[in-house]
Structure 1
Amino acid sequence: MTDIEICPLKAKYIDGIIAINNMCFSTPWSRESLEKEIEDNIIAKYVVAKKCDILMGYAGMWHILDEGHITNIAVHPEYRGIGVGSLLLDALIEICRIKSINSMTLEVRKSNIIAQNLYKKYGFIEEGIRRFYYADNKEDAIIMWKYNI
């Protein structure tokens, strides 16, 4: 994993991000939404994982007051299980430390046990449920928080 680079998301990665987004999410964000996220570097903080010029995944969060709200973490299916998600989450946590963000939150599908386990490994705890949160199938979302970053 030492040859995987984590760097800020730039416009040149947008096509790769859209491809990963479409592979990973049943209701992926639109190109326009993702482009707006890249443009808004005050609130939106996004990073990519790449090896040479191969995009392996991306992660993002919104910096709102003293909280970080994770919007997406997605890893290309070919690169799952080798720690890319952990590297991306490490990068978001480091951004929080640099920006004096005290806590992080996210919503995760109730059925997404792999993601839940990743977040729990990093000290996120379940704090609530958003009933029928996901529009595609009305699945509940688990709200998770990490305090004292």
Structure 2
Amino acid sequence: MWKKFNFFRSFLLSREQERKIRFAPTKITINDSVLDIRKAEPKDIAALVVLEKSLYQGQTPWTMSIFQTELTKVNALYIVVAHSNILLAVIGIRFNRSEAHVTILMVDSAWQKLGLGTYLMNLAIDIAKNKKCKELSLEVRADNLAAQNLYQKLGFVVTFIWPNYYQDSHQNGLNMVLKLTDD
């Protein structure tokens, strides 16, 4: 009985591993700095929370447990950017059948306006296209004009408004979508 269990357990685990989204680490250069682009790991969670606090005036919309849950989802991919082992940025993408959704995009304020956010968004678009997704969606705060401009330059359009979407500030959220196919 135990042999059968172990056989099926290894089969199920290998199937789960097959479903996990693969991402090969790479490097890019921005301002003469070589940055490591890799899949996020549980060891990154504390640094992700620190990055989040720096961007959200000490607040943490995503707790450590939320990051932990997200990083273990088989239908999600979280990519971090690091320089000398310091986390500078993260993007999260969740996949659901023929659609992809950007769950989070954070870039350290010292590294903003250098093309890192654009790079990560283009990476998400390429990954979604390779996975044959028909669209890529995201939510953005109604008052975050810089992010909205980035998304619009990439072809995203506002499809609807979520009233009071952000619980901490009661800000409206704009749902933005980029069509990846002509369907």
Q: Could you state the TM-score of these two structures normalised by the residue count of structure 1?
A: 0.91
SS in 1 for 2:166: coil
- Specify which of 41, 45, 52 is matched with residue 10 of structure 1: 41
- Give the 4+ runs in structure 1 shifted more than 3 A: none
Q: What is the Cα deviation at residue 5 of structure 1?
A: 2.7
Instruction: Confirm whether residue 133 of structure 1 aligns to residue 165 of structure 2.
Output: yes
Structure number with higher relative contact order (C-alpha < 8 Å, ≥ 6 residues apart): 1
Determine the C-alpha separation between the residues in 2 that align with 1:102 and 1:138. 31
Stretches of structure 2 that go unaligned for 5 or more consecutive residues are 1-27
After the TM superposition, which residues 1-149 of structure 1 pair with which residues of structure 2 at under 5 Å, given as runs?
2=29, 3-25=34-56, 26-40=59-73, 42-148=74-180
When the two chains are superposed, the root-mean-square deviation of aligned CA atoms in Å is: 1.5
Determine the C-alpha separation between the residues in 2 that align with 1:37 and 1:133. 20
SS in 2 for 1:132: strand
Identity %: 28
Q: What is the Cα deviation at residue 24 of structure 1?
A: 2.1
Stretches of structure 1 that go unaligned for 5 or more consecutive residues are none
> For this pair of structures, how many residues does the alignment match?
148
Q: Which deviations, in whole Å up to 9, do the C-alpha atoms of 1:44-75 show, x marking residues without a partner? A: 11101122322111010210111111111001
Letter in 2 for 1:30: T
Q: Tell me if the contact between 1:6 and 1:88 (Cα under 8 Å) persists in the aligned partners.
A: no
Q: Tell me if the contact between 1:102 and 1:148 (Cα under 8 Å) persists in the aligned partners.
A: yes
The structure with more radius of gyration: 2
Determine the C-alpha separation between the residues in 2 that align with 1:47 and 1:137. 27
- Residue 25 of structure 2 corresponds to none
Q: Could you state the TM-score of these two structures normalised by the residue count of structure 2?
A: 0.75
